[in-house]
Structures are given as C-alpha cells and as structure tokens.
Structure 1
Amino acid sequence: MTLQRSFSLLLAGILLLVHQPVQASTAQDFDACLSHLRTKALDAGHAHDTLNQVLSSVTFNQRIVELDRSQAEFTETFLQYLDRRVSVDRVEKGRQLLREHRVLLQRIADEYGVRPEYIIAFWGMETNFGTYFGKTPVFDAVVTLACDGRRGEFFTNQFFSALRILEEGHIDMEQMKGSWAGAMGHTQFMPSTFLSYAVDYDGNGRKDLWNSLPDAFASAANYLSAMGWQDGRRWGREVILPRGFDYSQADIERSQPLLHWRKLGVRQVDGRLVPDLDFSATIVLPQGHRGPAFIVYDNFHLIMRWNRSLHYALAVGYMADRVAGMGQLHAKRPADSNEGRLSRGEVLELQQRLAALGLYDAEATGRIGAQTRNAVRQFQQMVKVPADAYPTHALLEQLRQRQQDVTVELSRVDP
C-alpha cells in the first residue's frame, strides 16, 4: 500500500471516529428531561391536559439523534442533483398542477406578491407535490432533540411551538407527523415557522398545512413575502461568462451592481448583455468554471434562507422557470459531469493538505465551507489554474503531487 493511500485511509478513519453518534440517553435521563420540559412548558403557560396527552406517548428515538449528529456525505455534483430533483417528469407534473390550481395560486400571488411558479417549485422540492410529508411523529422528533442536548434550546422552543399548534386546534396529534427534524406538511415548516407564518387561507378556523392546499400555498407565500420577496424580479438566470473572466469574482458572498457584470461582458443565454438595472447581483459557479454559470439576485438569497443549500436554491429557481415554460440549461455538460464530488474523507484530506501549505487555518471537518473554498482558490492561483474555488479530484491530486515533490526534494538534502 502506498504512503499516499495510507494517509487517505487514516484521515477517513479519523473522520468516522469523530462523527460517531453518541449512545442513547438512559431511560432515567429521558424521564428527567421530560419532567424538566413539563415544568418549563407549564411556566410558559401551556395546559396540563395537553402536556399529559403529549408526554404520555412521546418516545426517545435514537435514530433521530444519529441523523442529527451525522454529517451526510453529499457526493452528487450540481448537475447530478439537478437531474434528480428537477427531472422532466417532475417539471411536467409541476406544469399540470400549475394549470389545475392556477386560479387559487394567482389569487395568492395577487395578495402576497409571490408568483405561482415559485410556490409550485417549493412544493415540488419539499414534498414532491405533497406525496411525502415524512412519517415521524413531530413530538418524538422535537422532544428527542431537545433532550439530546446538542441543540437543546432550539428544539425546546420547537416543542413549545408544537404544543401551541396542538392547543390552537390546527391539527390532531395523531396526524402531526413530519420529517425526522420536525418539519411538517406540504411546505415542511418547522413548528416555530408555522406559528409565525402559517395562514388559514380557506377560512375554516384551522391552519392546516397537511390537508389544505390553500393554507399550504398561502403560508409559503406569506413566509417569502415576510422575508422581503420582491415581486416582479427574477431569482436569477443562467449566463454566459466572457472569455478571460476572472473566476475569483464568482463568489456567493460577493455581490456587485448588475451594471458591473454588464460592463465585464456577462451575457444572457440569448446572447444579450445582462440588463442595466439598479440592483445587486452575484455570479455563482455550482460546478466550477466548466459547469453552468448563474447570476443571482436578492430573491435567490431569500430562497437560501428557506434552505441554506446552494444546490437547493438553484434547483428551486430553475424549477420555477421550467414550470413557467422556460427551456433547459444552455451550458454544455463537461465531459466529467458524471464524476461525483469529493467524499468526506477526501475533503478532510484536502483541508489537511491545504493547512500544510499555510492556506487553511480552520478545523478540518470534511465539510466544504467558505474557508475551504477560499483556501482552494488560493491554491488554484498558486498553480495558475482557473480560481473558481471548486475542489475536484484533479485538484486534490495536484495537492498530493505537490507535497510528494516537496518530500522527495527534502529527502535529497544532505543532513
């Protein structure tokens, strides 16, 4: 086995040890936590009867703890993700549902300023148009995570919010099911989001995100509107970057006036320069300089407040465009588009090697964040390749080779 291979396996093994889930709490610990939650809930004004109903049936679910503590290994590239989440079948289903619910969605759009295709896109992305809400009892989810302690305060507040939803009569406890983290209904709202933004749009006295599409659609629109959604503005669009473009300017954290990108020669896919409008815009390259390029606006950043994943936000915007009748992506697929992203073990190795070069000074976690991307960009600039901050297998191999060359040179130095 080569030294390089041994190093990679060692790093992957360390990562697995670091992220092993903790053992389930003891029954006594869970009972003590339930007693504590009961006391806090009573102090917050919740009813004895509701607490008795909920806490007598709630169970600690170790699998929920494992899901919360694990760091899922996302090995899909952006294009692979898009193919799966915005498939031809899902787009056609979205268009069918848009036609079916057009009158309702347009009325909601007129009231909240969020166009119908966006509501359809969120609906499709969250629950595949209401075909899967999740099967976990919401109280099992939020109480388990409140008692686990890692995010205890957050999920204690979710527990109180879920109690309020039950006390206000919006849903029966037996029907109150959702994701392992407690997200609920067609729009997968957390309990606190439900309390702040859910709407009784059908006027039956209940805010029912499980069984009422008017309530679910209006609640999604209300949430986006309250965050500052700008009606009449797009989320963004695919663009063509000019030859010689400085890829270091493509950064989700770096916005410029739209006129700046126009002056650089950034074009829409129809060949026209991006419009000369007075608002800020950002260039993003979700699969590096060889993949599609997008220019995104303020509404895109609001989508990322719904879900922090760049891939998710781009998929919502693209799905909305496709449902509205627009075509597929313009960019040609790179030859290696089916090659997966770096694994978590490989990202950990990448971070370790960047740190050895003095480019990365944060904790090596195996997850790609802003600091990792910045370090990757610096290394790309060092080796004079496009500085798109996108880590690839080829880049990792360059890092390995560079450090191997240094080791060989050092071994030749006389003691």
Structure 2
Amino acid sequence: MPASRCRLAPFVLALALPALAHAQDTSSQDDFARCLAGLAPKAAQARVQADTYQRYTRGLVADTTVIDSLNKQPEFVIPVWDYLSALVDQERIDDGKARLKQWSAVLERAQRTYGVDPATVVAVWGVESNYGQQFGQKPLLQSLGTLSCMGRRQEYFRGEFFAALRIVQSGDIGADEFKGSWAGAFGHTQFMPSTFERVAVDFDGDGHRDLIASVPDALGSTAHYLQMSHWQAGQPWGYEVKLPAAFDSKISGRTAKRPLSYWSAQGVRLVNGSPLPGGDEPAGLVLPAGAQGPAFLTLRNFDAIYAYNASINYTLAIALLSDRLRSQPGLVAAWPTDDPGTSRAERREIQQLLLARGYDIGTVDGMVGDKTRQAIQEEQRKRGLPVDDGRPGQRILKALRQSP
C-alpha cells in the first residue's frame, strides 16, 4: 500500500466509523425483528395468543447490553468471606428483623400453609432483593426477547420469553411494570417467569399473582417454592461443626450424605464442642473454604434452599442470615484469611475515603464495581500492600483510615 494512503486511512476510517456503526446497528435491529417474526409460530405453540405476541413484539428494540452481561466473565473471583460479609451484615439483620415484625401475620400464615418458618422466607427476601430495594430495572420483555434471538442459550431464554408473555397475557403483571434483572428474574424474591407460572400464589387474595407489587404474594410464593423443594417443617438447615485433628476432608460435599451417627463416630462435634444431635438423619459436610475454615453439616433444608439457586455460598448466606434473624449466634470459626471481608457500611466508608482522595468511582453505595476496584488497586500499589487485587477488605480499609 502506498505510504500516502497509509497516512490518510486513519482519517478516512474515523469519518466512516459513525456511519459504519449506524449501519451495523440498523442491520442488527433488522435481524432482531426478523427473528421475532420467525418465533411467532413457536410462541403460538407455547400458548401465547397471536394478538398478545404481535402487540408486545411490534416495535420491540433489542437491548444488546444484556448480551454483554451474558458473556461477561468476572475479572475478580469473590472469596466466600467477602460474599458473606456483605450479605450477612448488621444492616441486613436489622432490616430483616424489622420485616419479620412488619409482615408477621403474612409470614405466620405462610408457615401454617407451607411449613416454612418466617426467618428463612425473610432471609431469601433479604439476599435476593435486599427486601425489595434492588429489583433490577430492565424491561423483561425486551431483555428476554433479545436473549431469545442473540447470544448463547437462546432456546432456554425463548422459554422464559414465552412464559413472560403468558404472564402479561393473563393480566397478573402489566407489561409496563414487568421489570427485573438482565436475565429475566423479577420481583421481591426474584423468580424467573417459568418459575412464577409453576410456583407463584395469590397470597393477598386480590385475584392476581404479583411478586413485584405484592409483598404477601412474594413471601407466600417463596414459602411455596421451598415446600415444593421438600422443605422439612420444624427442622434446622444444619449445624456449624468442629472437625477433629487430621480429619480426612475427602469425605466432604453437600451430596455425600452420611448419617449424623457416622459423623459423630468420626469425632465431629458442634462448634461449641457439644455432641451432635442423635439419630441417623443424612447430613453432608460442607467446607466452603477448605478444611481450615468453618465447617457445616447440612441437612435436607439446606438442599431445599440450594434448589432456589445452585450455589453453596448463596445457600450458606440464606442459612446464616436466617439464624441471625432468629437471634441465634453468628458464625463462630474464623475464615482462613489475614484480610477479612467488610460489611456494606464499611464498603461505603472505603468509597468515601477513595472519593476524598480524588478517585472518580461514582456513587457511594457499598456496591463494589470496576471503578472502585481499580481505585483500591491503585491505593494498594501506592502503599506497597502485600497484594493489589482490588478487594475491599479490612486491610485497605485500615490503611485508608490511618493515612490522610
């Protein structure tokens, strides 16, 4: 290529880029419209009426940000002690106890109906949406429609898209109010549309099932979900335990269940040193941070919570929060780290201290995003701290507090 053309190419390209981007965007939206039109027969087979489908897909514009969320690989792996320190902090405990009092009549009725205790239901509410304060604001029909035509797992998201359309079609939730996470979960306790159809109940008796506008419907539906996941009324989720010296951790795992009598024979005790409860109820040993960290014997109700979201850390957050809502002691054993996690109040303090140092990190909200992590990393490097991982741990909090 002649040198003169090499020099001109960047300027020509710069002028052409906006038009190119517009053409690509227009082409993408045209492809999206064609995809939606092509899905109409499948929607009809899925019991979505033709006029419903036409009404809510006509003019629907793809939201490609949900594809970015679908494909995004987290840069930072969150240690279990960071995960739990934010989800089971004093704020969430205090707010949860207030909700237990505020909604006591509904929660007691849910327990009578489904056998699930109020503290567990409220703990799910607290972890899923911070008691209704963090729903997500993505229009669900737009998000699920986009995911039905673009990106990975289109077949799965088409099922959820059709379920969302059936929910609007039924009149349970209006399309304008139907908002949630980028992946389609919605309401106080974050059901997917297909789960809503299968499990949700009209617990306030107004003739509609609505997890967004009705707290009673959300709490009753959550209790119903746990009942359907084989919740055992009156039983604990499990126990924090203490392992004997030289314990063989190879026999651990939520699904590697053995009778409580077996664990007793292995020398496992409650964390306070007392013997395990008697009997042969199956229990799995969960070691979320390995044999050197806290240990838990988990029972059937732990599995019921796990069915809500297949994550050990998530299940443990609900289990431990429910204990605190019952005014039971918190976690006893220490996590195997020299830099423990921080509560949301402490994370807000970190953000305030970073703002005071001139970092542009956005809103002080206790939510640790990329900008906050990058600022923490820079401070870790400046101060010569042992790691520059961007974690909002106690070490960086202490360092920021101590220096002007």
Q: What TM-score range do you get, normalising by the shorter chain?
A: 0.7 to 0.9
Q: Distance in 1 between matches of 2:123 and 2:278?
A: 28
Alpha-carbon distance between aligned partners in 2 of 1:339 and 1:178, rounded to the nearest angstrom? 28
Distance 1:270 1:210 in 2: 42
1:133 to 118, 135, 138: 135
Number of residue pairs aligned between Structure 1 and Structure 2: 319
Offset of 1:273 from its aligned partner? 1.4
CA contact (8 A) 1:79 1:337 kept: no
Name the SS for the 1:328 alignment partner.
coil
Query: Does 1 or 2 have the higher relative contact order (CA < 8 Å, sep 6+)?
Result: 1
CA distance in 2, matches of 1:153, 1:180: 16
Structure 1 residue 208 displacement after superposition: 0.8
Structural mapping, 1:150-161, within 5 Å: 150-161=152-163
Contact 2:81 2:341 in 1 (8 A): no
- Structure 2: how far apart are the matches of 1:57 and 1:173? 14
Q: CA RMSD in A?
A: 1.9
CA shift for structure 1 position 226: 1.1
Q: State whether residues 129 and 135 of structure 2, in contact with CA within 8 Å, keep that contact through their aligned partners in structure 1.
A: yes
**Unmatched runs of 5 consecutive residues or more in structure 2:** 1-23, 343-386, 388-404
Deviation at 1:211, TM superposition (A): 1.0
Q: Percent identity?
A: 40
Deviation at 1:186, TM superposition (A): 0.5
Is this contact kept in 2: 1:77–1:337, CA < 8 A?
no
Q: Does 1:319 align with 2:321?
A: yes
For the residue of structure 2 that corresponds to 1:26, the secondary structure is helix
Alignment partner of 1:70 is 2:65: no
CA–CA distance in 2 between the matches of 1:45 and 1:87?
A: 44
TM-score, structure 2 as length reference: 0.75
Q: 2:117 aligns with which of 104, 115, 118?
A: 115
Deviation of the 1:94 alpha carbon: 0.5
Between the aligned partners of 2:138 and 2:266, the Cα distance in structure 1 is 50
Equivalences for residues 148-227 of structure 1 within 5 A: 148-227=150-229
Asked if structure 2 preserves the Cα contact closer than 8 Å seen for 1:265 and 1:273, the reply is: no
Correspondent of 1:228 among 230, 246, 249: 230
Aligned-residue offset at 1:339: 8.8
For 1:287, the aligned partner's letter is: A
- The aligned residue for residue 89 of structure 2 is 87
The equivalent of 2:257 in structure 1 is 255
| Further displaced range: 96-105 or 179-188 | 96-105
Aligned equivalents of 1:330 and 1:149: distance in 2? 44
Matched-pair contact (CA < 8 Å) for 1:95–1:323: yes
TM-score (norm 1): 0.73
1:35 to 34, 37, 42: 37
- Residue of structure 2 in register with 1:46 after alignment: 48
Q: Which amino acid aligns with 1:204?
A: D
Cα offset, 1:47, TM superposition? 2.2
Counterpart amino acid of residue 67 in structure 1: S
Matches of 1:220 and 1:277 in 2, distance apart?
30
Q: Is this contact kept in 1: 2:172–2:209, CA < 8 A?
A: yes
2:105 alignment partner in structure 1: 103
> For residue 267 of structure 1, what is the aligned residue in structure 2?
269
Rounded Cα–Cα distance in structure 1 between residues aligned with 2:281 and 2:260: 6
CA-CA distance at 1:44 after TM superposition: 3.5
Q: By how many angstroms is 1:149 displaced?
A: 5.0
- Contact 2:115 2:232 survives alignment (8 Å): yes
Output the CA distance in 2 between the equivalents of 1:83 and 1:339.
Answer: 6
SS at match of 1:254: strand
Partner of 2:146: 144
